[in-house]
């Protein structure tokens, strides 16, 4: 993934709402870590959504949420 693709990937995390489930409508970046951990155990969805959820899981797991702060401000 080149730098521009990575940036767009991160932008999507702060703009895209969860399309289904308990947290439907909540932005992916605002999903609780417990929900992301559930997906980690049960399996992430296929496709782009799964990739985004897994990325958000890794960001939260590693304490890197500050990476998203500038993007949240520029929404």
Question: For position 2, what pLDDT does the model report?
Answer: 79
3-state DSSP assignment of residue 37? helix
Tens of pLDDT, residues 2-59 = 777 878 889 999 999 999 999 999 999 999 999 999 999 999 999 999 999 999 999 9
pTM: 0.90
**31: closest CA among 8, 7, 65?**
65
1 pLDDT above the threshold of 80: no
Cα separation, 63 vs 74, in Å, equals: 21
Cα separation, 38 vs 20, in Å, equals: 15
The owner of tokens 């992916």 is: 28
Token representation of residue 5:
């693709």
**Reported confidence tier of residue 61, pLDDT bands at 50, 70, 90:** very high
């Amino acid at each position: 993934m080149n730098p521009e693709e990575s940036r767009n990937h991160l932008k999507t995390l702060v703009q895209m709402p969860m399309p289904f489930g308990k947290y439907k409508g909540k932005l992916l970046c605002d999903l609780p870590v417990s929900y992301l951990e559930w997906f980690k155990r049960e399996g992430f969805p296929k496709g782009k959504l799964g990739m985004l959820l897994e990325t958000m899981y890794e960001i939260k797991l590693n304490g890197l949420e500050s990476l998203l702060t500038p993007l949240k401000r520029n929404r």
